[in-house]
Amino acid sequence: MTTQAWDAYWADPTTTNSFAFDYTETEGPYGTLNQFWLDVFAAFKDSDIVVDLAAGNGALATLFTQSRTELNCAAWVNIDSATAKPDKLHDKITFAQQNIEQLELADASVDHFVSMYGFEYSDITKSFSQIVRCLKPHGRFAIFMHHPDAIITKQSKVSITAFNQVLKDPFWQTIHTCERLSFPELKNRLLQNLNLHLQSVATEGQDDIKLIGQNIFYLLQSNNNVGWCVAQLQKLRQGILLQVERLTQQIAAAETASMLTQKIVLDNQVAWQITTLDFQGSTLGYCFTGSKN
Ligand SMILES: C[S@@+](CC[C@H](N)C(=O)[O-])C[C@H]1O[C@@H](n2cnc3c(N)ncnc32)[C@H](O)[C@@H]1O
């Protein structure tokens, strides 16, 4: 399992699409999602041990702390395989870097497992057997997962096509050779290239090309040293490659979630249900909830 794409994502302080921000919304699709989680949190008891699987930067813990003055749990552990560095939210909330397919937790030690767009990124056959092993009798799990028909999944497919168009462009593959250009020449070549991609990409993918354009404008405005700009453009290309990797993982995760009942052992050790959470007729994702008998 490679964690490089997520290591880079959580390490970047300029990451703006952190899910944590959206989780605090009270209206729209994220408001619906928040309500799902607030209902889950309401069932916690003060003595409970809560574990967030594939927690990233701790978006769920952020929502939990922001939604109450007293934390109704004994401990909340964020677990992720990437080197995420969540802000210190509360003494009860800690972070552990682990693969959720091989949890370093004692048998029957957890009251609640939660996971938000995370569990389904792993080998769920292994991760679910870890959940069953580590849950206390009557312990519960609430797992919210990507769905192949969700807007977020469809948008990711569009973005991958747009980003790949740029990544495969010979101009971007040989961007290092632009070091010999003058600054105005470099600027012109970049603008021509962006226009070309804007015109040839499908309408739905234009926002992704514009996002790349914004990054380019920002770096051209910061410094007119060609060597520096080319180094930054190479970094930008690397960042787009990693974004494609994450989006590809996300689409695979949605497929995994859609095959959940074929992939995991749902025997009489657990009571469970799978539903979808919808907003205005559109699916946001799968809710996989249950308890250990
Ligand atoms: C889409 S992010 C979601 C993070 C967080 N739950 C959120 O909502 O912001 C998916 C996360 O799953 C983590 N992940 C993927 N496979 C994993 C595994 N086998 N064990 C632990 N974490 C994993 C990645 O490192 C990444 O941080």
CATH number for the domain including 263? 3.40.50.150
**Ligand 1: which of 80, 104, 143, 247 to mutate, judged by most atoms within 8 Å of the beta carbon?**
80
Q: Ligand 1: distance of its center to the CA of 166 in Å?
A: 27
Q: Ligand 1: distance of its center to the CA of 187 in Å?
A: 38
The string of DSSP letters for 39-88 reads: HHHHT--TT-EEEEET-TTTHHHHHHHHT-SS--SSEEEEEESS------
Average pLDDT over residues 25-30: 80
**Closest C-alpha residue for ligand 1 atom 27:** 56
Do 74 and 157 fall into the same domain? Answer: no
Do 83 and 112 fall into the same domain? Answer: yes
Do 92 and 135 fall into the same domain? Answer: yes
Do 126 and 265 fall into the same domain? Answer: yes
Residue 130 and residue 237 in contact, taking contact as beta carbons nearer than 8 Å: no
Residue 117 near ligand 1, beta carbon < 6 Å: yes
Domain residues for the domain of 235 are: 153-250
Do 242 and 263 fall into the same domain? Answer: no
Is residue 204 predicted with pLDDT exceeding 80? yes
Q: How far is CA 117 from the centre of its chain?
A: 6
Task: Supply the pLDDT for residue 88.
Answer: 87
Is residue 17 predicted with pLDDT exceeding 80? no
Do 132 and 165 fall into the same domain? Answer: no
Give the C-alpha separation, 183 to 268, whole Å. Answer: 68
Is residue 2 predicted with pLDDT exceeding 80? no
Do 270 and 177 fall into the same domain? Answer: no
Is residue 18 predicted with pLDDT exceeding 50? no
Do 209 and 181 fall into the same domain? Answer: yes
Residue 276 and residue 283 in contact, taking contact as beta carbons nearer than 8 Å: yes
Q: Ligand 1: distance of its center to the CA of 121 in Å?
A: 7
Is residue 16 predicted with pLDDT exceeding 50? no
Give the C-alpha separation, 245 to 236, whole Å. Answer: 14
Do 206 and 234 fall into the same domain? Answer: yes
For residue 200, report the phi and psi dihedrals to the nearest 5 degrees: -95, -15
Q: Ligand 1: distance of its center to the CA of 143 in Å?
A: 12
Residue 100 near ligand 1, beta carbon < 6 Å: yes
pLDDT tens digits along 56-109:
888 899 889 989 999 999 999 999 999 887 778 899 999 999 999 999 999 999
**Closest C-alpha residue for ligand 1 atom 13:** 54
Find the range with the poorest average confidence among 7-21, 46-60, 155-169.
7-21
Do 186 and 134 fall into the same domain? Answer: no
pLDDT tens digits along 48-69:
999 999 998 888 998 899 899 9
Number of independent structural domains in the chain: 2
Residue 281's alpha-carbon distances to 113, 147, 152, 277, in angstroms, are: 28, 14, 14, 10
Task: Supply the pLDDT for residue 255.
Answer: 98
